[in-house]
Amino acid sequence: MARTSEEIYAALDLGSNSFHVLLARFDGPRLLVLDRYKDNVRLASGLQEDGNLSEEAMARACRALEKIAERIRPLPPAYVRVVGTNTLRAAKNRDVFLARAEKILGVPISIISGLEEARLIYLGVGKDFTPEDRTRLVVDIGGGSTELVLGRNKPLKLESLYMGCVSFARQFFPEGRVTRRVYEKAVLAARSEVQGLVSEFSASNWDEAVGSSGTIRAIERVLHGMGLNQNHVITPEGLDQLAEAVIAAKYAEVLDLPGLDDDRRPVFAGGLAVLHGIFAELKIRAMHVSMYAIREGIIYDLAGRLHQRDKRVETIERMMEQYRADRPQVRRVNRFALSLLKQVEHQLATDAEQARRLLQWAVDLHEIGLSIAHSGYHKHGAYIVANSDMPGFSRQEQQLLSFLVLNHRRKLKQEPEAYGFVPDWRLVTVLRLACLFLRRRDAALLPAQVEIGFQGARCRLRVPAKWLNLHPLTREDLLQEKHLLSAIGVELTVSGKT
């Protein structure tokens, strides 16, 4: 399917400091921005000592989403992607917030890992530059996390660190007071976070440093306004002089710097200390600033999903290679599973298109646990899927895939309750039956036709009677499967047909 210029995409980034929405369309390969909107929610400041978001912070966020919803509501849901980053990764009560937020937006929110955030940032920033045969360091300082990416046309190394402009402002400048001693302490803390990455991210490993995010753009604007940079490039000397100006002001609320927005003032010192520490530890001498960031990356990634360039497909392929999946068996099970799915795809709790993707990916990965041990390999595989860095996948998608892999054989296991997670036992049943019929790993031994259908709690399976008589072991397996499925309320009935 070719991408058309009429397609409008929306990316919403629920960051720890700000909520950003970007609406854009493509003119050939170029991204044309139609609308931008930002609301400084400062969600991370509402993260309490017990790990929960405060009611006040959630209310503030929901008010911002009500305004944003107006902009994205006219678009088809398939062209909208909403991601939650560090604060929503960390919040223990994020499910409470997600329930309220999704009701307002009308589309699901994907919680992404720090490394997936870094990948999307690089994807966006990379489109802001002409592709060249050179290695770039990309730095993005958010409200609660900082992403570092080393890339050469595509990401080569990704890292996500637990420091950001809001978290550092809370930790080191809680009353907005800035002293030399505390500022230097904050810079030292940032250097400590980066210290373990020096061997891979120091200046000897790249040709150019690029900064993205509101924090770095704000620092560049102020430096430019103060006449401390040339050609919009951030330098160590500029950061030193800017730090002196911030320390001289003593209090964040009275910072009077050219180009500094009022809403950036409370977290400016925190973000500056993070960047100062990164410059010092990685020996950065100059940093260009990109106007692109994670939002642009989300749109490029979303367009790829809709037009057969889905990063998730590449990730599944890589995992199959890494864990030495038996590809002939994967192909056999996939063909049979899809033949069953086609008969019942409109009887599932999962959308038909999503069910097809999830089923195929689950089959692709269902035996990767064998690389660890045969005993309980479905459990090993489920653990790998749930806990691996899987570029392109949200945490919710990984949970769904892990659930399918875990339950493709043996006793069925319920997942702990979580917002947005609805176990589709009918989809699980399709996967289990496909694996059961192909236990002998030979498609030639499959029955000529298997009919399946769901009605209420009942799953009706019709298999040629002659075939069943010739395959007593499979018939016995089906009797055992009937017992196992009854534990989660599915009544399997197997009948022979002439």
Q: Which residues contact 126 (CB under 8 A, 6 or more apart)?
A: 136, 151, 153, 154
The DSSP result for 363-397, as a single string, is: HHHTTGGGGT-STTHHHHHHHHHHHS--TT--HHH
Contact criterion met (CB below 8 Å) for 336 and 438: yes
Query: For residues 249 and 80, what is the distance between their CA atoms, to the nearest angstrom?
Result: 43
Q: How far is CA 118 from CA 3, 37, 200, in A?
A: 25, 22, 16
- 494: β partners: 461
Contact criterion met (CB below 8 Å) for 190 and 161: no
Domains in the chain with CATH codes: 8-112+296-304 (3.30.420.40), 129-290 (3.30.420.150), 310-444 (1.10.3210.10)
Coil, helix or strand for 471?
A: coil
Task: State the sign of the Cα–Cα–Cα–Cα dihedral 218, 223, 227, 231.
Answer: negative
pLDDT of residue 130: 67
Task: State the sign of the Cα–Cα–Cα–Cα dihedral 311, 312, 314, 315.
Answer: positive
pLDDT of residue 128: 84
Number of Cβ atoms within 10 Å of the Cβ of 356? 17
pLDDT of residue 2: 47
Query: For residues 234 and 223, what is the distance between their CA atoms, to the nearest angstrom?
Result: 8
Q: Which two tokens stand for residue 166?
A: 């809001």
Whole-number CA gyration radius for the chain: 26
Q: pLDDT per position in the chain (498 positions), as tens?
A: 445 547 999 999 999 999 999 999 999 888 999 999 999 999 999 999 999 999 999 999 999 999 999 999 999 999 999 999 999 999 999 999 999 999 999 999 999 999 999 999 999 998 887 666 789 999 999 999 999 999 998 899 999 999 999 999 999 999 999 999 999 999 999 999 999 999 999 999 999 999 998 999 999 999 999 999 878 899 999 999 999 999 999 999 999 999 999 999 999 999 999 999 999 999 999 999 999 999 999 999 999 999 888 999 999 999 999 999 999 999 999 999 999 999 999 999 999 999 999 999 999 999 999 999 999 999 999 999 999 999 999 999 999 999 999 999 999 998 666 777 889 999 999 999 999 999 999 999 999 999 999 999 999 999 999 999 999 999 999 999 999 999 999 999 999 877
pTM of the model: 0.92
* Eight-state DSSP code of residue 414: P
pLDDT of residue 424: 95
